Amino acid sequence: MQSIGRTRTQSRPSRSVNLGGMDYPDPKRKGNFVGKVALAAIMTTVCILVLKKSSFNYATPFSMREEGVTHVLVTGGAGYIGSHATLRLLKDGYRVTIVDNLSRGNIGAVKILQELFPEPGRLQFIYADLGDAKAVNKIFAENAFDAVMHFAAVAYVGESTMYPLNTCATYGEPEKMPITEETTQVPINPYGKAKKMAEDMILDFSKTSDMAVMILRYFNVIGSDPEGRLGESPPPELREHGRISGACFDAARGIMPGLKVKGTDYKTHDGTCIRDYIDVTDLVDAHVKALEKAVPGKVGIYNVGTGKGRSVKEFVEACKKATGVDIKVDYLPRRPGDYAEVFSDPSKIRNELNWTARYTDLQQSLKVAWRWQKAHRDGYGTPSVMAS
């Protein structure tokens, strides 16, 4: 199982955050170095059915198989996507073990999930570093997992490069849109390369294994739990490596002075870059469908996007409406190397997993996320604050 290695990337001195043709300056550090943050980050996550039985020294609900109960190990479950996936799995009756080293995630999110599902045998949290092989072996020896959803990663593209590179993790800059699963993979930044390497290792491993493997490649993830229980709360020091909705919310809050859109003369309907935004609720739905349809000995690879591109200008307008703040936007000249259009062809996942994106109203997704952001000025807060 250790072959599903973690992604290690280096940090970089950043001066401003750029979001696929859009960026916002860090008010604390004024400089002209511009590091681009890949916007159409495509991700690899894996659901692996673990088929062998293990023996245990002691028995807990998590160490025993139970008829009709599927036990899922969620790595990175304290993070943004992992916590939303855990909520959905618990709601659907799965048993969940979260493994996270809390380097990025929030124990507050885990506490909320535990409060929602306090019954024994529903949710267990294990603090561990997946880079620690001994710890991982122990976790597998002591727990009876049926499947793994792997979200743990150092997941900020901006951290993975010091160079002004462009979008689209494992696919690089494809010649043709939309991106299908057959689009050639030529990752152009360390983030994308690490994802591709992880995929290759999994594919190699699966050749001699009867595990069921599903690899999902995401586009830009936005939104949060519509019922407002969970949100996105990266460590403050990572803000400048930001994600696009984080940039919008920080600008709306006045933490950042505004947004900068770079390039208004692309060959798109309004001249700004086009990207594919996927709501986290749809994304975790794709994971559950992938888990349900995983077949031993087989590998499924799927793009998870809406298939609809939205321009940066549309995103900014949706952000203004969702937050009700008239965010200051500067429209600037293009950066070299920005790709005009990046969006997915989601037909394979629709045909094979019966999945389609349903939360496709950008403004609504941002509104939901903004509601959580407004009610949680300090994110999940510190553990001592959370304990109540």
Residues marked active site are found at: 191
Q: Which residue is nearest to ligand NAG (CB)?
A: 129
Residue 101 found at the interface with ligand NAG (CB under 6 A): yes
Residue 343 found at the interface with ligand NAD (CB under 6 A): no
Tokens at 272, concatenated: 């700004």
Q: How far apart are alpha carbons 244 and 229 in whole angstroms?
A: 21
Give me the sheet containing 35-37, strands edge to edge. 35-37, 16-19, 22-25, 259-262, 329-332
Q: How far apart are alpha carbons 1 and 18 in whole angstroms?
A: 36
Q: How far apart are alpha carbons 90 and 231 in whole angstroms?
A: 17
Give me the sheet containing 299-304, strands edge to edge. 123-127, 95-100, 71-75, 147-150, 45-49, 213-218, 299-304
Taking the complex as a whole, the smallest distance from the CB of residue 247 to ligand NAD amounts, in Å, to 12
Q: Give the x-and-dash track for 24-63 against ligand NAG (CB under 6 A).
A: ----------------------------------------
Residue 243 found at the interface with ligand NAD (CB under 6 A): yes
Tokens at 127, concatenated: 């603090």
Count the residues of the shown chain that bind ligand NAG, applying the rule CB under 6 A.
Answer: 7
Taking the complex as a whole, the smallest distance from the CB of residue 50 to ligand NAD amounts, in Å, to 18
What backbone phi and psi angles, to 5 degrees, belong to 124? -125, 140
Taking the complex as a whole, the smallest distance from the CB of residue 363 to ligand NAG amounts, in Å, to 24
201 membership: H or E segment, kind and range: helix 190-207
Per partner kind, with CB cut-offs from 5 to 8 A, the member of ligand NAG, ligand NAD, none near residue 48 is none
Tokens at 124, concatenated: 């267990």
Residue 318 found at the interface with ligand NAD (CB under 6 A): no
Tokens at 141, concatenated: 């020896």
Residue 218 found at the interface with ligand NAD (CB under 6 A): yes
Residue 276 found at the interface with ligand NAD (CB under 6 A): no
Nearer to ligand NAD, 193 or 271 (CB): 193
Q: Which residues bind ligand NAG (CB under 6 A)?
A: 6, 101, 103, 129, 131, 154, 354
Q: Which residues bind ligand NAD (CB under 6 A)?
A: 6, 41, 43, 76, 78-82, 99-105, 129-131, 151-153, 155, 218, 220-221, 243
